[in-house]
Structure 1
Amino acid sequence: MSLAVILSRQTTRLGLSFAGVAVTDGNSLHTQVLVRAGADSDSRQAVVLDAFETVYRQAMTASEPVTLHVNDAEVRARLRVAGDSFPAVHIVDTARGRVPALLQVAGTAISTHLAELTPRRGRAATPQTEATVATDASKCTGRPGVGVACVRSDGAHRQKVLPDVRSVLHGELLAIELAVASFANRPLHVLSDSKGALACLGGDHPNLGDVATTVERIRQLARGRAVRYSWVRGHDGHPLNETAHRLAVAARRGHEADIPSETRNALADNIVANLVAASPGTRSASNATAETGGRLIGRAA
């Protein structure tokens, strides 16, 4: 029987909320860390729900329901109320059996990630190679909804569909936010083909409503980190930009056509395969998305 836990933690000093995930089938152990800007209640609940989405997508491919314990009582109660909508998981309230040990594993994963973000005082931080990540958004035609994606030069990637987004500009900023949140353990060079989104981040554009809120979240996520942004011409043969574009389009179309998640994940892996093949020495991108503290964060679509 597969067992999973989700542990939440916040740091007001960094203004971040974390969700640590640990999953075991009795033979193997998988850990993940997800991050959200903000250290308030809404941010905590949001990152726990992000983690639940990741666990549920894995559970949908399992032969039997996954037993899940969420340490956040408020979110756990909400999920139990909607339990009929999530038949692939069985949510338990009490931390019994192997659950406490798994919670400790999830906590260690978060601590490892935090150590990457906050080097010890009095010790020079080891220089880290800058990671280059491209982002893009694909807007639904004639109605709200956008697919967003980010992809690193080694093929690590994330995708999301945000059904309520109404503008391409907002979608491009959300794709940048996805990249900054997902690739949190190294200096980051973000490539975007949206001059408007970069102008918003640079203060050269009037930011209002959802755009202003998203810009502020990105700035919080980037605070204290080495993050820089560059414009790249879209649809001009740039390998990373083209891959990000195809991933964003695939996420949107997969959502519109209600394509099963397994098929969408396979399609995404095929999209990044050419990128990885063209980069000798990089690791396989199969089932990979973003790395945090040396561990893989699950795909979000």
Structure 2
Amino acid sequence: MTIAVIHTRHTAGTESDLSLSAATIHDGTALDTRVFTTPGGEDHHRLASVLDAVEYVHEYAAGAEAPMPLYVSDSRVRSELQAVAGSFAALDLVGTPRGRMPALLLTAADAMSQHVSDLAAAAAAAAGPLPELVVATDASKCSRRRGVGVACVRADGVRRQKVVADADSVLVGELLAIDLAVSSFRNHPLHVLTDSRAALACLGSGYPNRGRVAKTVDHIRYLSRGRRVRFSWVRGHAGHPLNEAAHRLAVAARRGHEAHIDPDVREAVADNIVAPLRAAV
């Protein structure tokens, strides 16, 4: 069954406020995510971006044998849409996320974060050479089961998080966190900080990488080609602000996944973690 979600957010810090909505559709095998934006941060701006996303999903669902289940994360917008549900005959507007929908909401959130990052990078590129970004990474794994939470965070509080459900070791998690940083901030020179000496050894020469470790190292090296990317070790749990934030984000991602916490709550927790970094900018 094909399902869809629409996640929304408002951001400031570019030249003006921006309302964003991301639609993620899963047809059982592949994901399709689109981001829609409307300048402004008022409720009607957010509604406009959501309606653009709804129209896209509705066109995708047109002609299907049965209405496509759609969950919209913003409760106020969701209520307004349900009041006019007859205008979207190809959609089944659901009140709570079910099945794979929570995972799709995280994909949509990541897409919006990447869009905002790309806008900021484009603005900075127009202003001149881009400065090196310092990004801390970390991973968190439960000792009793597979799966790791991975995270990376910049000095200005811009962050990425995700859960890799099939990762089976802390080392793989640490490398996946580095991979997340290098793939997320492609438009800048990077200085990546990790508290894993083993991960740094894997990225160096002469380390006998195998299996998932070798695959992840190869991907990091591929993403780093033609760019200024350097990696450094930082002592973990020693009060380094970026390392501490990355650690807390990774733990929050893992625990939120394990406890099936609502995506909006997970995002609020992550925003709270990086609030001191944002305030210091």
- Cα distance in structure 1, aligned partners of 2:232 and 2:101: 43
- Determine whether 1:158 maps to 2:160: yes
Residue of structure 1 equivalent to 2:213 = 211
Residue of structure 2 equivalent to 1:275 = 277
Residue of structure 1 equivalent to 2:140 = 138
Residue of structure 1 equivalent to 2:192 = 190
For residue 57 of structure 1, report the CA deviation from its aligned partner: 11
- Cα distance in structure 1, aligned partners of 2:172 and 2:150: 10
Residue of structure 1 equivalent to 2:45 = 27
- Cα distance in structure 2, aligned partners of 1:159 and 1:58: 21
Within the candidate set 167, 170, 176, 1:168 is matched to: 170
- Cα distance in structure 1, aligned partners of 2:37 and 2:220: 29
Amino acid at match of 1:27: H
In 1, are the aligned partners of 2:22 and 2:33 still within 8 Å (CA)? no
Residue of structure 1 equivalent to 2:257 = 255
TM-aligned CA distance change 1:126 to 1:4, over 3 Å: closer
- Cα distance in structure 1, aligned partners of 2:233 and 2:158: 20
In 1, are the aligned partners of 2:22 and 2:34 still within 8 Å (CA)? no
Task: Give the 3-state SS of the residue equivalent to 1:186 in structure 2.
Answer: coil
Mapping of residues 36-185 of structure 1, within 5 Å = 59-62=72-75, 63-64=77-78, 85=99, 126-185=128-187
- Cα distance in structure 1, aligned partners of 2:71 and 2:252: 19
- Cα distance in structure 2, aligned partners of 1:87 and 1:273: 27
Residue of structure 1 equivalent to 2:54 = none
- Cα distance in structure 2, aligned partners of 1:85 and 1:196: 36
Within the candidate set 214, 217, 241, 1:239 is matched to: 241
Task: Give the 3-state SS of the residue equivalent to 1:251 in structure 2.
Answer: helix
In 2, are the aligned partners of 1:169 and 1:196 still within 8 Å (CA)? yes
- Cα distance in structure 1, aligned partners of 2:22 and 2:266: 23
Q: Which has the higher contact order (CA 8 A, sep 6+)?
A: 1
In 2, are the aligned partners of 1:169 and 1:197 still within 8 Å (CA)? yes
For residue 256 of structure 1, report the CA deviation from its aligned partner: 1.2
Note the alpha carbon deviations across 1:110-162, whole angstroms, 9 max, x for none. xx88x96xx9xxxxx94221110000000112210100000000000011111
- Cα distance in structure 2, aligned partners of 1:191 and 1:229: 6
Task: Give the 3-state SS of the residue equivalent to 1:147 in structure 2.
Answer: strand
Task: Give the 3-state SS of the residue equivalent to 1:159 in structure 2.
Answer: strand
In 2, are the aligned partners of 1:4 and 1:66 still within 8 Å (CA)? no
Residue of structure 1 equivalent to 2:231 = 229
Amino acid at match of 1:173: L
- Cα distance in structure 2, aligned partners of 1:57 and 1:192: 39
TM-score, normalising length from structure 1?
0.57
TM-aligned CA distance change 1:166 to 1:57, over 3 Å: farther
TM-aligned CA distance change 1:217 to 1:20, over 3 Å: farther
Unaligned stretches of 5+ residues in structure 1 = 7-17, 31-55, 68-83, 89-105, 120-124, 283-301
For residue 255 of structure 1, report the CA deviation from its aligned partner: 1.1
Note the alpha carbon deviations across 1:248-267, whole angstroms, 9 max, x for none. 01111111111111111111
Higher helix proportion: 2
Task: Give the 3-state SS of the residue equivalent to 1:258 in structure 2.
Answer: coil
Structure 1 window deviating more from structure 2 (147-156 vs 56-65): it is 56-65
- Cα distance in structure 1, aligned partners of 2:160 and 2:204: 24
For residue 220 of structure 1, report the CA deviation from its aligned partner: 1.2
In 2, are the aligned partners of 1:57 and 1:261 still within 8 Å (CA)? no
Please tell me whether Structure 1 or Structure 2 has the larger radius of gyration of its CA atoms.
2
TM-aligned CA distance change 1:205 to 1:257, over 3 Å: same
TM-aligned CA distance change 1:146 to 1:27, over 3 Å: same
In 2, are the aligned partners of 1:148 and 1:161 still within 8 Å (CA)? yes
Task: Give the 3-state SS of the residue equivalent to 1:27 in structure 2.
Answer: helix
- Cα distance in structure 2, aligned partners of 1:147 and 1:231: 20
Determine what percentage of the aligned residue pairs are the same residue. Answer: 57
